[in-house]
Every structure is written in structure tokens, then in C-alpha cells.
Structure 1
Amino acid sequence: MLIRCTILASLLMGSIAVRSSEVLDRMVATVNGHVILQSDWDEELRFECFMSRHPLVDLSADERKAALNRLIDQEILREQMRLMDSSPASAEQIQKQMEALKTDQRQHAGEAWETVLSQYHLTDKIIENHVAAELEQFQLMDTRFRPSIQVSAAEVEKYYRERLVPKLSASDVISLTEATPKIREILMQEKINQLLNSWLETLRAQAQVRTTITSSSSDAERSQGESQ
């Protein structure tokens, strides 16, 4: 009888643990059936705060909502990558970006890399996963949009005259010829971002996106798209 009671108690505790886990890591959104969990949302917030050197405290509702929207957009883009059979980021690309992040961290934070990661409850592996995802998204955008974009000499000259030169001191001024390659790439990236935003609007309209928002003891669901 004691054994049976012990087993029953274990089962009950296991059931409670499962329910607690579900509460702590509940579903916050679905994108075409793919689930985004609370832990995904929290991790995205911690990563964004880490990258922007923003403290984890005092995050506004708008900041949290923006992070969730980024997760939704990322999942939509991942679907496109699967459809296009995009190549994953290479270990060399990820390592190069990680080294750049660590160098930037040493120059600006004044604290050890591991110390800062612990402040944001992050690990090297989590950062690597986010870096890989961003590299793959950049590759997708580059492949889809760059071939169709043109940057004219007039656009380069206008950027140089109106946006670059006013920011330079007399000792830092460079010629238009010297600045042209970097300006052309900046303008290219701006146009890619514009096309990406338009594309994401279209993809969102075509996707089935649902978010769940906890209010008191119940969840209210809000539909953000219709499947076609």
C-alpha cells in the first residue's frame, strides 16, 4: 500500500510539474501551425537587450510586442528559406561574427564576455543560434532582392553631399570617388530593407498567424492573418 501511495504521489507531482511547465512555457503564437513559446519570446528579448546594451528591467509593452513580432517575421522567413532550400550559415561565418561581437563587447562594455552573458541569462550557444539565424536571413534577402536593385550615380552623389559630408570633420573628409563603394552598399541595403518590409507585409497577409494574450485568468486570441 505504501508503494502504491508513493507511486501515486509521484504521478501527481509529475502531473503538477508538467502543468507548471506548461504555464511557464506556454504558447504565445503560432505561424502556419508552428508554435512560438514564451521561452522563445523571453530569449528574443534577452538577446535584443544584450545586442543593444539595454537593461532587462523596465521593458515596455511596446518593446515586448516588437520582439514577438520579430519572432513571427523570423518564422515566416524561415518558411521561405525552406521553400528555397537555402544553405545554412557555415561554421566559419558564425565564428567570424562571434569574434566580431566579442571584440565589440570588449571595447564598449568593459566587462568579460562571460560576465555580460550571465547578466542577460544567455550562453555562447544561444548567441551562436541567433547569429546563424540572422546570417541565413541576410543571405535570403540578398539572394532575393540584390539582383533586381540598381543604385545610380546620382543617388550616390546625393548621399555623399547630403548625408555623409555634413557628418565629417575637416580632417576626415574623403572624396566622392573614395566613398562611392561604401555609399553604394549602404544604399543597396536600404533598398533591400524597403523591399523586405513590403514582402513581409504580403507574406503576413497570406499566413495564418495567431497570438495568445493572457488577461487575468483567461487567454484571449487575436487572429492576425488569413490562410489562402
Structure 2
Amino acid sequence: MDTKAATMMLAALCAFAGAGLVQAQVAPSTINAPGPAKVVPGVAPAASASSLPPTTTTSPGTPIDRIVAIVNGDLILDSDVDQELRLEALEPYDNPEREGSRDQAVNRLINRALILQQVKLQNDEPIPADEVEKELDGLRKNIPECKRYDCATKAGWDAFLAKQGFTEQSLQGLWAQRMQVLDYIEQRFKMGIRITPQEIQDYYTKTMLPEYAAQHVAAPKLDTLSERIQEVLLSQHVTALLDDWLKSLRAQGSIVVMHPGEVAP
């Protein structure tokens, strides 16, 4: 990966933060025949999917988590959806098309699980820890709200993350997973796409400047952000290709979306 300080995060904004990636709704029933169980990093093992009710408990009347979706045997839990919504606070460049609803978050998690399953099949190497750290260092410098917390300091960064319900260690794991997904997408789809200087200027003027103004903080200059903006625009161009691919993965796999009160198959 190259020039990655915050660029992968910006790509995530388009690919996984609700920017229109795949908006197809999944019915609350099994799609196609159940496929073989696979394990997605950070998601509960599929072996227990058939035996767990939508909400698991440690003792009667003490709910822990609810299954909201099963993707080729891998579980997506209610707590995963909460976490996905909290991660939106770590996206410095807001997208007007993003929808922060739980349904959209579930949809993004399903897409991500499908891609992670493909990543595992490819036996890709994990993202090195120093690259993850570099990404997060760039993130700290570009989140508008971070300026209020002085995220350049460890105490300020820890305080900001605590407000969002994360620790530095937990965020590193989540961000490494996102970087793995985005690296796979880049390698598969991005080659041959070119972004013009005018497209970069328009995005800076029409999207980024209003966001910083809304946060009442000074925006970085265009020349310091042009490479990062290019990553966003590349991701937008890739979306159409990625959309078709994800539709194919959905059609070939088994996806069940659970609603409150439904029993896991």
C-alpha cells in the first residue's frame, strides 16, 4: 500500500460508511441454500449459528447480544451494529449520502463479511502493525472533533476514543480489518482508473470545506489533501464494479437477516 495515512480511511468512507455501495435490501429469510461455514476475523464462529437463538443470555432475563444476520454461517451481532455506528465519529470527511440507520449498518457489515471471506480464501497476508499505526496517526490529524481533544497527545486521543466507546487497542484491530478489506478491493478493482485535477478541486470545495466549516475548524489546504481526496474519488469510481461483484457474492451465498423475535435457522 502507498500514501496510506488516512487514505484507506477515506476509501472506507465511500465503500463502507454508507456511500451507496450496495443498497439492496435483504429479506428476513435465507437467500439461496446455506453455504459452507467460514470464519470472518472478529466475528463469532459460525459453528454456533444453528444452535443460538436471536438473543443469547448468561442467565435467564440477562440479555447479552442478539444475532442480526448470518452470512454464510458467520454471525453479525447487535453489538457489531452498535460498533459500526460508533465508528462514524472517526470519519473526518462527512458524506451527505451516508445514512446512519441500523439497517444501513447491517448492510455494510454483510458486505464486509462477504469480502473478508474472499480475503481469507486468497490467504492474503495481514496488514503490518506499523501500517495500521501510520493510518491511525493520519486519522488523529484529520478528524475535526479531534482538535477539541488535542488528539496529537496520547491523553487527548484516549479521551476522544473513550467518548466513542473504543480503546486504542480495540480500534487498531478494527482498523486493520478495514485496511485488509480495502487493500483487497484496491488490488481487484482500482487499476486503470484516473482522477482529474478538476475532480479533486470540486470535491475539496463542495464536500470537504463545508464539513470543516460546520465543525468550526480551519480546513487543511488542498495541496496537503489532494492524494487523500483522490482515494475517495477512486473509491467512488470503483463502487459500480464492486456493487456488481457483491451482488454476485450475495446470489451465490446464504444470507439471513434476523429481526427481533425471529428464531435463528
- One of 91, 110, 118 as aligned partner of 1:72: 110
- One of 230, 235, 238 as aligned partner of 1:189: 235
- The 1:44/1:150 distance shift into structure 2, 3 A limit, reads closer
- The 1:19/1:79 distance shift into structure 2, 3 A limit, reads farther
Unmatched segments (≥5 aa) in structure 1: 1-15, 55-60, 175-179, 224-228
**TM-score using structure 2 length:** 0.57
Secondary structure, in 3 states, of the residue corresponding to 1:68?
Answer: helix
How far residue 140 of structure 1 moved from its aligned partner, in angstroms, is: 0.4
2:71–2:256 CA contact under 8 A, matched in 1:
yes
| Number of the residue aligned with 2:129 | 91
| Number of the residue aligned with 1:104 | 142
Amino acid at match of 1:219: E
Secondary structure, in 3 states, of the residue corresponding to 1:36?
Answer: strand
1:105–1:113 CA contact under 8 A, matched in 2:
no
Q: Pairwise CA RMSD of aligned residues?
A: 3.7
Unmatched segments (≥5 aa) in structure 2: 1-56, 150-155, 207-220
Partner Cα separation in structure 1 for residue 146 and residue 61 of structure 2: 39
**For this pair of structures, how many residues does the alignment match?**
184
Partner Cα separation in structure 1 for residue 204 and residue 117 of structure 2: 42
| Number of the residue aligned with 2:75 | 35
- What fraction of aligned residue pairs are identical, expressed as a percent? 25
1:24–1:38 CA contact under 8 A, matched in 2:
no
Q: Which has the higher helix share?
A: 1
Larger RCO (alpha carbons 8 Å, 6+ apart): 2
- One of 202, 205, 209 as aligned partner of 2:248: 202
**TM-score using structure 1 length:** 0.65
- One of 113, 129, 132 as aligned partner of 2:157: 113
1:51 counterpart = 2:91 = yes
Bigger Cα Rg: 1
Partner Cα separation in structure 1 for residue 227 and residue 93 of structure 2: 30
2:132–2:176 CA contact under 8 A, matched in 1:
yes
